[in-house]
Structure 1
Amino acid sequence: MAVRTTDWRKLPVTLTELCINTTLRCGQSFRWRKSAEDEWSCAIHGRILSLRQDPECLHYRAIFPTTSVPSPPPSTSPSATPSITPDKDDTLALVKHYFNLSTNLGQLYEQWASVDPNFKKRAPKFAGVRILRQDPWETLIGFICSSNNHISRISTMVSNLCLHYGPLIGHIDGVPYHDFPTPETLAKPEVEAHLSKLGFGYRAKYIYKTAVMVAEKGDGLDWLDGLCNPESPAFGKDFGEAGEWTETGREGYRKAHQELLALHGVGPKVADCVCLMGLGWSESVPVDTHVWQIAQRDYRFGKGKNSGLTAATYNAVANHFRRLWGKEAGWAHSVLFTADLKAFSERLVSKAEVKEEATKIKVEDDVAIAENTIKGRKATTKTIKRADKEEEHNVLEAEEKTVRRRSKRLKT
């Protein structure tokens, strides 16, 4: 297929403000893949966006299709990707918007560290973790796939969704890149059975039924956009900057969360993930079993009767973090969530290493104790031997005195 590729361009941004190797792998988005050494690529908004990073700059380029391209089978009525002419290249605006670059992350880290010793302890090795502003529809379906799942398998599912139902944008080194499918495409009757064959399990039904519900609204994507934080514009609108938090916005978050719960496969955690990463509600704090473990380990939750993750403890943890970290609580939560992921274990001292070090220290202590014990025993033995000799000498001396006395008596 014919494509147009832009030159590599650069955007000044330090690793303190954005680290793509962490942000793109920490369970927010599931479609980025390594297209080359230290290069990430994803089909997004009608283009393939590729990213590289050095300590001072984010480098980006875009590959655009020059003609509309239909989705591959099994979709019978595929959506098409519109042509984008050079004068409509909004890639820079998209990059700034997608990575929320209007927010000063360094200042936020300092703020969170000043009120939370645990954050201060864990965050330094995980600088540059930003909350993405993703497409709400993609975020919704991605997190329906996340139910009782891990990042690698979620990524495989989302990749299959795009491969079978999304419009083809282009190729990099022969690898196809498909954009995300529309609600109408996933609302077709054959989709549920096909997704089941692809290994989606019970999530196949949730994806299909949610797609039907959104598609039947007529203005489904507009409905989702309407749930966005108005101070954090949704994709498809102008790429804008976030404003200050307001009490009206707080009510908007509650409304968005409640409306999402009406969709199939959407519980409190999935709704909060969509609110935070797709709708721009930064106070949203998703609490899954992983975050519950963090709350138990580091924030003294789970004592007494409230030892499990229930609706009550879910709200208690989320509200505690909101009070602790403020209006961007969801951002701070994601830093600690990332710090605990196994995928980043090489950046931390692992439990095995801690155990090994503790064992080493114990062995060294045991050796020292043993050495001291041996030295003590040797010293004690010497003392005993010396005492024995002294006792033997005293006995002999006493016997000699007795003999001398007897001899003296005999002479007299």
Structure 2
Amino acid sequence: MTEIKEIREGEGMFEIELSKMDPKKNADSGQVFRWLKTDEGYFFMTKNQAALAVTDGDKAVIYTENEQDELIIKNYLDLDTDYDKVRNSIDKEDEYLVKAEEYSRGIRVLRQDPWETAVSYIISQNNNIPRIKNSVAALCKDFGKKRSFEVILKDGRAVKYEWNEFPGAAQLKGADFTKYGLGYRAPYMERFVEYALEGKFEQDYLNKLFSGRSSEVPVYEKAREDLIKIYGIGKKVADCICLYGLHMVYAFPVDTWIKKIQEKHYLGAFPVEKYPDCAGILQQYMFYYERSEASQK
């Protein structure tokens, strides 16, 4: 049996203020589908890495299994982005947006794996979050490499989770997607897997999308245009891939929640051009705030 390593700060463990990264808010934000509530906190997975977030007072303690994974998870959590700068960029006369940011503080637009994001959001079309999570979890269980995650917490407790990596195109080749609740989306996934196996969603393709800064509008528009050409990917899914998988923060996905917000507060259209460096982050705040408010009524 593998010995469980005690994780110390700087060796796979780090702390961050909840106002900077709140595990519960991120798990409930609607942008990710592999954050699981556990007795200890939130266990989350991205591609072939995993971590555990435990709330401790006004801080979140993030556990990874080693220093290398710690660096990957810090990047995944987008910790290099200054979210105070995002808050300060908000028009103070926009009362709704000010309230949305304040309520959602601690949410970060995570730097998710492009492939995992694309698959997840193809599945998400006209779907609800619990069903999306179930479909993604089932695909990972049946096709993803089995892994285990073991650490010792600050209070001395040893924890272990069994999990599965997100399967790649090769693993999903030939899968019967109708068995995973995909319905009419099954042909979309079949074609997308074929597309990826032809090398059209590999690193060279992604590098071309990043020929400029990810926040540059022309780069985003070209990426969106290319994605929409793929069978089964429409404007909203393309925007979700751009924002969550490629971290193009100008992208502003519009679903039924955002449509309602725009009609109620912005005369039908949010001023995206006013926030070229953070429109997608603000969209996440509005989405989370609106859904949370609705659930309390």
Q: Same fold (TM over 0.5)?
A: yes
Cα shift readout 1:90-116 (whole Å, capped 9, x = no counterpart): 122112211111112123123215252
Q: 1:30–1:155: 8 Å Cα contact kept in structure 2? A: yes
CA 1:230–1:5: 2 relative to 1, 3 Å = farther
CA 1:183–1:291: 2 relative to 1, 3 Å = same
Cα shift readout 1:38-82 (whole Å, capped 9, x = no counterpart): x1113335343111133554322234xxxxxxxxxxxxxxxxxxx
* Equivalent in the alignment of 2:282: 332
Partner amino acid, structure 2, of 1:338: Y
Q: Any stretches of 5+ residues in structure 1 without a counterpart?
A: 64-85, 233-244, 302-316, 352-412
- Structure 2 length as normaliser, TM-score? 0.86
Cα shift readout 1:191-226 (whole Å, capped 9, x = no counterpart): 1xx220232211221112101101112772442354
* Equivalent in the alignment of 2:135: 157
How many angstroms apart in 1 are the aligned matches of 2:76 and 2:96? 29
1:99 to 77, 81, 87: 77
Does the residue aligned with 2:137 lie in a helix, a strand or coil? helix
Partner amino acid, structure 2, of 1:40: Y
CA 1:2–1:164: 2 relative to 1, 3 Å = farther
How many angstroms apart in 2 are the aligned matches of 1:20 and 1:124? 16
2:121 is the alignment partner of 1:143: yes
How many angstroms apart in 1 are the aligned matches of 2:189 and 2:36? 23
Higher-helix-fraction structure: 1
Q: 1:146–1:154: 8 Å Cα contact kept in structure 2? A: yes
How many angstroms apart in 1 are the aligned matches of 2:210 and 2:189? 21
Q: 2:249–2:280: 8 Å Cα contact kept in structure 1? A: yes
How many angstroms apart in 1 are the aligned matches of 2:133 and 2:8? 27
How many angstroms apart in 1 are the aligned matches of 2:35 and 2:264? 32
Partner amino acid, structure 2, of 1:144: I
* Equivalent in the alignment of 1:7: 7
CA 1:291–1:223: 2 relative to 1, 3 Å = same
Does the residue aligned with 1:224 lie in a helix, a strand or coil? helix
Q: 2:16–2:61: 8 Å Cα contact kept in structure 1? A: no
How many angstroms apart in 2 are the aligned matches of 1:36 and 1:46? 23
CA 1:125–1:219: 2 relative to 1, 3 Å = closer
RMSD: 2.5
* Equivalent in the alignment of 2:224: 257
Q: 1:6–1:61: 8 Å Cα contact kept in structure 2? A: no
Q: Any stretches of 5+ residues in structure 2 without a counterpart?
A: 151-158
Asked which structure has the greater CA Rg, the reply is 1
Give the drift of 1:332: 0.6
CA 1:183–1:163: 2 relative to 1, 3 Å = same
1:36 to 26, 34, 39: 39
The count of corresponding residues between Structure 1 and Structure 2 is: 286
Cα shift readout 1:244-265 (whole Å, capped 9, x = no counterpart): x5xxx32111111111112222
Does the residue aligned with 1:277 lie in a helix, a strand or coil? helix
1:168 to 117, 139, 146: 146
* Equivalent in the alignment of 2:267: 300
Alignment of 1:262-281 (within 5 A): 262-281=229-248
Partner amino acid, structure 2, of 1:330: G
CA 1:149–1:289: 2 relative to 1, 3 Å = same
Give the drift of 1:35: 2.7
CA 1:321–1:96: 2 relative to 1, 3 Å = farther
1:181 to 149, 158, 167: 167
Q: 1:26–1:338: 8 Å Cα contact kept in structure 2? A: yes
Give me the identity figure in percent.
27
How many angstroms apart in 1 are the aligned matches of 2:141 and 2:256? 31
Greater RCO (CA < 8 Å, at least 6 residues apart):
2
* Equivalent in the alignment of 2:19: 16
Q: 2:46–2:113: 8 Å Cα contact kept in structure 1? A: no
